[in-house]
Structure 1
Amino acid sequence: MEERESLPPPPPPNLEDSGNKNHIKTLQLPDKPGTYVVQVPKDQVYRVPPPQNSSIAESRIKAPPRDAKTSRCSWYCVLFSIIFFALLILLGAVFGGLFSLLLSPTDPEFSIVKFKLVERKPNPKYDVTFHVHNSNSKVGILYKDSGSVSLSLKQRNIASGTYPTLYQDPHVTTSFNVTLEASKPGLPKVVEQSVKNEKEKVSVAFSLSIHFHARMKMGLLRSRKMKFDVTCNVKMDSLAKTTRILSQQCQTKRH
């Protein structure tokens, strides 16, 4: 193990010219070989940065600066998309209105083919079969959004159901069934009397209300969505095993 020798104090500086203000200090080391320890003041020791700082700095230098033109272009694209979709909606509404005005399609015509009480307990259920006729020769009807059907007796709602979603070709009559279920158990008094009296038939008058949305369609053209309300007044001779429709009247209104 090598011995360490302390550094001897430096000799006093030799001033070549006492009148010169710039003094040169010369540190003379001893000629004897060995290992020496140099002590540096603490305020002159500088912290070495970690190596990852250099990679972060290089990545920031290599990263392309954000272009103001690119940001401006993105805003223009968003604005153009909003205007484009707004024009599409406006054109759709205009063409839908022109379609309805120029072609003047007629409303669908409804009629009741069968009306029957299919279940009495726990909650009564009524099965109704409708015919809907599309009298337009070139315009189809698209029934959508699952409308509603309600059954009333003496202006009191006693059952309800869902109107089906379907498409009807021009000049076609379509048949469909709707099951109406009562919200409360038990039959109305007049309905119960009509069910029990098979020999002496007790007639019952009902009112059916249908609410649905539909679009008229011809090729690629479609009308705006229209709301329809249908009211059917029907009178049954009996609700026993054998039933027969005595009279009916249906009216369709477009909104």
Structure 2
Amino acid sequence: MARYERLYTSHKDNLKPGVYVIELPKDQVLRLPGPRTRKIEDASLPIRCKKHSSCLPWILRFLLFLIVLVVILVAILFLVFQPRIPKYSVEDIKVHEFNLSRELVVMDVIIRAKNPNKRIGIDYKNSNRLWVSHYETVMCRGSLPGFHQGHMNTSTLEARLTANGLHFPKELSSSIKDQQNDGDVHLNVGMDFPVTIKMGILKSMKFDFKVRCDLSVMRLLSNQTAGIQRGSCRLRI
């Protein structure tokens, strides 16, 4: 037999405060954790949480290390290869057919592309797009075959653009005629070139060169050059 002694205080009238001796069989003794044991177990829970939260500074330090490493690598690449932005210009536009009432437009657009970089080559992909528009109306479109442009290279490209599948609003003809009478026709030339950059043995992912040119030409007549008076091109990546 085992004895379990406990100070027991009851609110009932028939029980008085005191010490009671309860006898139970040895194999049926029930053991409950005392207040001191419960406090220890409860105190251990925040410790586990603190252990997990202590990992956060290490994760932040690791991420910061990666960011610093990437910045250092990019800085080294810039110092070694000294990248410069390619330059583009529209040299001429040869008009073969220009009949808006029949929706027949055929032009050859001659483009100069200059790669001023000493250690960087540019791969132009086949899936490129070129177009000529008058304000928001596209008059002809086409593409160029893909090619590789080496470092310190200037290439002259000629693209045949047509109006296949295009439809023109009635206002287009009158707008061009009015400007042509003044000898100052506004044109936009757009070029989207998917490219990859080669820096030695390194090769970049594919991304787009978006070239937009604003031109002023003298005329748009069949079998004549447009006569570019002024123009400027800008590159967006």
TM range (shorter): 0.5 to 0.7
Match of 1:184 in 2: 166
Residue in structure 2 matching 1:114, options 89, 92, 95: 92
Partner of 2:193: 212
Match of 2:217 in 1: 236
Q: Offset of 1:192 from its aligned partner?
A: 6.5
Question: Do the aligned residues in 2 keep the contact of 1:194 with 1:203 (CA within 8 Å)?
Answer: no
User: How far 1:107 sits from its partner (Å)?
Assistant: 2.5
Percent identity between the two aligned chains = 24
Tell whether the 8 Å contact from 2:122 to 2:198 is kept in structure 1 after alignment.
yes
168, 173, 190: which one aligns with 2:149: 168
Contact 1:201–1:238 (8 Å) recurs in 2: no
Which structure is larger by alpha-carbon Rg, 1 or 2? 1
* Deviation for aligned residue 1:108: 1.6
Cα–Cα, structure 1 residues 144 and 99, in superposed 2: closer, same or farther, change >3 Å?
farther
Alignment of 1:222 with 2:200, yes or no, is no
1:152 partner amino acid: S
Q: Distance in 1 between matches of 2:185 and 2:117?
A: 34
Unaligned segments of structure 1, at least 5 residues: 1-93
Q: Shift of the alpha carbon at 1:227?
A: 1.4
1:168-219 superposed Cα distances (whole Å, 9 cap, x missing partner): 1111110011111113367941586389x7xx66321111111111112133
Match in the other structure for 1:203: 184
**Runs of 4 or more above 4 Å deviation:** 97-101
Residue by residue, what CA displacement relative to the aligned partner does 1:64-113 show, whole Å, maximum 9, x if unpaired? xxxxxxxxxxxxxxxxxxxxxxxxxxxxxx9xx95995335223210011
Work out the CA distance in 2 between the residues paired with 1:129 and 1:202.
21
Aligned partners of 1:100, 1:215: CA distance in 2, in Å? 20
SS of residue in 2 equivalent to 1:189: helix
Distance (whole Å) between structure 1 residues aligned to residue 125 and residue 225 of structure 2:
34
Q: Which structure carries more strand by proportion?
A: 2
TM-score by length of 1: 0.53
The alignment of Structure 1 onto Structure 2 pairs a total of residues equal to 156
The structural deviation recorded for 1:236 is 0.3
Aligned partner of 2:235 in structure 1 is: 252
C-alpha distance in structure 1 between counterparts of 2:124 and 2:137, whole Å: 27
Amino acid at match of 1:234: L
Q: How far, CA to CA, are the matches of 1:120 and 1:243 in structure 2?
A: 11
Letter in 2 for 1:184: L
**2:85 and 2:175 mapped to 1: Cα distance?**
33
Q: What is the TM-score normalised by the length of structure 2? A: 0.57
What's the CA shift for 1:158?
A: 2.0
Contact 1:140 1:218 in 2 (8 A): yes
Change (3 A) 1:226 1:249: same
Deviation, structure 1 residue 163: 3.2
Q: Which amino acid aligns with 2:229?
A: L
Equivalent of 2:177, from 172, 179, 193? 193
Separation in 2, partners of 1:223, 1:99:
16
CA RMSD of aligned residues (A): 3.0
Alpha-carbon separation, structure 2, partners of 1:227 and 1:185: 27
Equivalent pair of 1:149/1:209 in contact (CA under 8 Å) = yes
Alignment-mate amino acid for residue 245 of structure 1: I
1:152 aligns with 2:133: yes
Task: Give the letter aligned to residue 189 of structure 1.
Answer: S
Distance in 2 between the 1:130 and 1:228 partners? 14
